[in-house]
Structure 1
Amino acid sequence: MKRPLSVLALLLSCNALPVGAAGLAAELVDGQGQPLVNAVLSLKGVGASTHNEPAIMDQRDKQFVPSVLAVRSGTAVKFPNSDDIRHHVYSFSPTKRFELRLYKGTPSEPVLFDKPGVVVLGCNIHDWMVGYVYVTDDPWFAVSDAQGRLILDGLPAGSYQVTLWHPQLQNMLPLNAGSLDVPAAGLSQRFPLQLAGGAVAPAAPKPSAFGEAFRKAASEVQP
């Protein structure tokens, strides 16, 4: 269930962003106007996309890489371990409960994420490791980079419903950001988000981040 937008999510023009024809160039920023990394933007509307190819969330230097992965419902995700030590990956999230016991290398079977929602991941050995898989039914989606930017190429012109998500949003619930008209020439747009606790660098989580993330996941409302 999507929650109506109750925080800053005004859609402002951003002339500094490059954009090609039939596409969206988006910049996501926090309440102070700083670039927001690992924010997910998804669109529902015209056409379809081919985001069902297998995805990968690696483990490197005792961190999930990427720390936020967005996939479409029905996507199989591989969880290779590129470290020279073993990891024990698991999730208690209602969207997808699973466990990959102590292992090195790549498990033979990927994990299928077959329904929309937020999946919080952890490692039973290294409790500061926290990762997120955002599963969506929307055909168009992307995750912002370190500059808060993302690009959706090949987007047909038309009207779209916009959904935004970030791990630091209130209760980790996705936000309905209203509608967006994308012209045939493409569009540049800025999306400000007011986070519950400010933007946090995922590479340096607090020791309690793992437990807090799972506490939120236990009571989350699925999109």
Structure 2
Amino acid sequence: QSQPNPVFAVGPAGGFADVVVWLDVDEGALPPPRTEPVIIEQVGCRYSPHISIAHPGERILFRNADAVLHNVHAAWEDGQTWLNFGQPRRGDASVQVAPRVGVLTLRCDAGHPWTLAWLHILPHPYHAITDVEGAFRIESVPAGTHRVRLWHSSWELLGTASGRPRFGDPATAEAEVTVTAGGEATLDLLLPVPGESP
């Protein structure tokens, strides 16, 4: 079955969507837990949204919106599995609790090898995901100089393995930004080209 490349979403002006941007701080005052869980669906044999962010202890609802068997296989960056369960029917849902800080790759092993998404679990509220124009906004940033980090899942298609697309390593970048009390700051970040130094 043909599916669009889930990791390559570029706006008319060249901005990249689905880039995770966050401040490089260990902790922060977490907002009150969301009353509704973070929702990640498999719909049209694809994960939606493609990129999600949660905080440790938050609820995450995995739901099958298709009338076919799906599987939720979530693994950490080192390959260790966090979750691996089936959802055979439309409407099947499972609520899980984000266990710790890290990045999880989400796949479906039930005959849909192209299904791919990522879940970032961050320890503070200073983060954003870029929109289709590549723009982002992080609210309530403390005054001071901060290191800002950027992560994109990689658009470099290396080939396939057992029918599953293989992409290169994530593209990352970082920069510093200074924010004054009650003020705003603008920061332009560039993604490195695969195979080239940032």
TM-score scaled to structure 2, two decimals? Answer: 0.71
Residue pair 1:161, 1:180 contacting (<8 A) in 2 also: yes
Where do 1:45-194 residues align within 5 Å? 48-50=29-31, 52-53=33-34, 54-93=37-76, 94=79, 97-103=82-88, 104-107=90-93, 109-125=94-110, 126-168=112-154, 171-172=169-170, 175=173, 177-183=174-180, 184-194=182-192
1:151–1:55 distance in 2 versus 1, CA, 3 Å: same
Report the alpha carbon displacement of residue 137 of structure 1 after superposing the two structures with TM: 2.0
State the Cα deviation string for residues 147-175 of structure 1 (Å, max 9, x = none): 11111223343332212111018633754
Amino acid at match of 1:186: E
State the Cα deviation string for residues 84-113 of structure 1 (Å, max 9, x = none): 323111123346521121333142x41222
Secondary structure of 2:65's match? coil
Q: Which has the higher helix share?
A: 1
TM-score scaled to structure 1, two decimals? Answer: 0.64
With a CA cutoff of 8 Å and minimum separation of 6, indicate the structure with the bigger relative contact order.
1
1:67–1:114 distance in 2 versus 1, CA, 3 Å: same
For 2:122 and 2:28, locate their aligned partners in 1 and report how far apart those are by CA, in whole Å: 16
1:78–1:116 distance in 2 versus 1, CA, 3 Å: same
For 1:196 and 1:115, locate their aligned partners in 2 and report how far apart those are by CA, in whole Å: 29
Where do 1:179-218 residues align within 5 Å? 179-183=176-180, 184-196=182-194
Secondary structure of 2:186's match? strand
For 1:152 and 1:101, locate their aligned partners in 2 and report how far apart those are by CA, in whole Å: 36
Report the alpha carbon displacement of residue 72 of structure 1 after superposing the two structures with TM: 2.0
Residue pair 1:87, 1:123 contacting (<8 A) in 2 also: yes
**Residue ranges of structure 2 left out of the alignment (5+ in a row):** 1-9, 156-167
1:40 aligns with 2:20: yes
Report the alpha carbon displacement of residue 65 of structure 1 after superposing the two structures with TM: 0.7
Amino acid at match of 2:47: F
Residue pair 1:96, 1:113 contacting (<8 A) in 2 also: no
Give RMSD over aligned pairs: 2.8
Report the alpha carbon displacement of residue 196 of structure 1 after superposing the two structures with TM: 2.2
Amino acid at match of 1:120: T
Report the alpha carbon displacement of residue 144 of structure 1 after superposing the two structures with TM: 0.7
Secondary structure of 1:190's match? coil
Amino acid at match of 1:194: P
How many aligned residue pairs are there? 165
Report the alpha carbon displacement of residue 55 of structure 1 after superposing the two structures with TM: 0.9
